[in-house]
Amino acid sequence: MSGLPLRGARDLPHIDFDDLTRDARTIHLDLGTGLGHFAVEMAVRDPEAYWIAVEHEGAVARRAARRARNAGVANVMVLCVDARQLLYEWLPAQCLDHIWINFPDPWPKDRHADRRHTHPWMLQLLASALHPGGGLHLATDVAEYAEAFAVALAALPEWKTGHDLERAELGVTTKYERKWLAQGRHPHYADWTRTQDSAASPWPTSIERQDAPSLDPATLPLATGVRRRGEHLLKLFPDRDGRQHGVLIDRVLGYDQHCVIDITTGRIDLGGVWTTWKCELFVDAQAERNQISANSAPSVSR
Ligand SMILES: C[S@@+](CC[C@H](N)C(=O)[O-])C[C@H]1O[C@@H](n2cnc3c(N)ncnc32)[C@H](O)[C@@H]1O
């Protein structure tokens, strides 16, 4: 296989999920794959399974992709993108058989609560991506995190407690798992099943897509801070020649600790450039800075 099996958020609109997974018997998401040990090893063992290994840290994702390439497997794609964006923007509804969350960052501080996978919005995204009967598998060394998952999922009709997997029988461990086991610590494992009768909507209900408002860009502020719901942003991207391309960012649609913002086509009179693409942008409201996801470089048509 030539090249790293690594794709970024910029690639998402061009990757055909059905085409990619056409020959797969089962489809798995390894959420926060880290260095990819688990996904790659599992893919090696079962060539009929397809693994999407998502990792948002670029350097880490590249190492996972190198691992997949060195293993010579074609049934793993490493995606360097925030899992939330992947779930919200790209994965078709009910397309996965299994989601594996191995040793997630626990984000113990209150101000980071929205980054935990137990965030209600994330749980809804997870439910949307799994088909009925699909499995969610958690491994963590943080007892409170396992408990928080159990409590949160018990309250949702989309989930029921699944049959505990015998991890030892899988015969595959993650890098973190090995570390904890070597220290004599005992990870917590838990499994849930997406219920058959669930009517979970394919998209988080709290987010509504709206048409871009017609605004005079000249009156818009620069996207230097966090805006409140309903406000609008303009973000400027300099190109290689130093020219500024403007992007009209739609109003803040959903607002929790993260806002989700629709970026839509807009005409900004800064060199007469149209931007013609659309993606979501996660704004970290707590950190008071904008995190433009990797696919936010505008594709420009003149
Ligand atoms: C503690 S490591 C565990 C790695 C691996 N699963 C293992 O068990 O060895 C958690 C990983 O999840 C990644 N991660 C955390 N939040 C993420 C998100 N929202 N999207 C994608 N990756 C994420 C981190 O960058 C980190 O590499």
- CATH (domain of 134): 3.40.50.150
pLDDT band at 33 (very low <50, low <70, confident <90, very high): very high
Position 205 in a domain: no
Query: How far apart are the C-alpha atoms of 280 and 263, rounded to whole Å?
Result: 6
**How many CB atoms within 10 Å of residue 65?**
25
Of 179, 194, 209, which residue sits at a domain end? 194
Q: How many domains does the chain have?
A: 2
Q: Does 41 sit in the ligand 1 pocket, CB within 6 Å?
A: no
Identify the pLDDT of residue 30.
Answer: 98
Domain co-membership, 104 together with 228: no
Domain co-membership, 152 together with 241: no
Position 237 in a domain: yes
Query: Could you tell me which residue, 238 or 124, shows the higher pLDDT?
Result: 124
Atom of ligand 1 nearest to the CA of 32: 12
Q: Does 73 sit in the ligand 1 pocket, CB within 6 Å?
A: no
Identify the pLDDT of residue 36.
Answer: 97
Minimum mean pLDDT range among 70-74, 79-83, 148-152: 79-83
Position 265 in a domain: yes
Atom of ligand 1 nearest to the CA of 83: 20
Q: Does 82 sit in the ligand 1 pocket, CB within 6 Å?
A: yes
Residues noted as catalytic: 105
Single-letter residue type at 221: P
Name the closest-CA residue to atom 12, ligand 1: 32
pLDDT band at 51 (very low <50, low <70, confident <90, very high): very high
- φ, ψ for residue 180 (rounded to 5)? -70, -40
Position 249 in a domain: yes
Q: Does residue 217 contact residue 200 with C-beta atoms inside 8 Å? A: no
- For the stretch 218-274, pLDDT in tens is 433 333 333 333 444 444 444 444 444 444 443 333 333 233 333 333 333 223 323
Q: Does residue 54 contact residue 39 with C-beta atoms inside 8 Å? A: no
Domain co-membership, 36 together with 179: yes
Q: Does 173 sit in the ligand 1 pocket, CB within 6 Å?
A: no
Single-letter residue type at 279: C
Domain co-membership, 169 together with 224: no
Residue 259's closest CA among 289, 222, 291, 284?
284
Position 210 in a domain: no
Position 209 in a domain: no
Query: How far apart are the C-alpha atoms of 86 and 74, rounded to whole Å?
Result: 20
Domain co-membership, 237 together with 271: yes
Single-letter residue type at 34: G
Position 179 in a domain: yes
Atom of ligand 1 nearest to the CA of 117: 19
Atom of ligand 1 nearest to the CA of 101: 6
- Asked if the model's pLDDT at residue 28 lies above 60, the reply is yes
Question: For residue 222, what is the DSSP state?
Answer: B
Quote the ligand 1 centre to 91 CA distance (angstroms). Answer: 18
Residue 297, judged by CB atoms within 10 A of its CB (0-12, 13-18, 19+), counts as middle
Q: Does 175 sit in the ligand 1 pocket, CB within 6 Å?
A: yes
Domain co-membership, 51 together with 136: yes
Domain co-membership, 275 together with 244: yes
Residue of 60, 67, 76, 103 with the most ligand 1 atoms within 8 Å of its CB, for mutation: 103
Tokens standing for residue 150: 């159990």
Domain co-membership, 233 together with 168: no
Position 102 in a domain: yes
Question: For residue 107, what is the DSSP state?
Answer: -
Name the closest-CA residue to atom 11, ligand 1: 32
Q: Does 112 sit in the ligand 1 pocket, CB within 6 Å?
A: no
Whole-structure pTM value: 0.71
Q: Which domain holds residue 50?
A: 6-194
Name the closest-CA residue to atom 27, ligand 1: 34
Domain co-membership, 161 together with 71: yes
Name the closest-CA residue to atom 17, ligand 1: 32
Which residue's structure tokens are 């991506």? 129
Minimum mean pLDDT range among 27-36, 159-168, 170-179, 216-225: 216-225
pLDDT band at 13 (very low <50, low <70, confident <90, very high): confident
Domain co-membership, 121 together with 229: no
Residue 217, CB half-sphere, CA atoms under 13 Å: how many?
21
Domain co-membership, 149 together with 72: yes
- Asked if the model's pLDDT at residue 149 lies above 70, the reply is yes
Q: In the chain, pLDDT over 90 holds for what percent of residues? A: 34
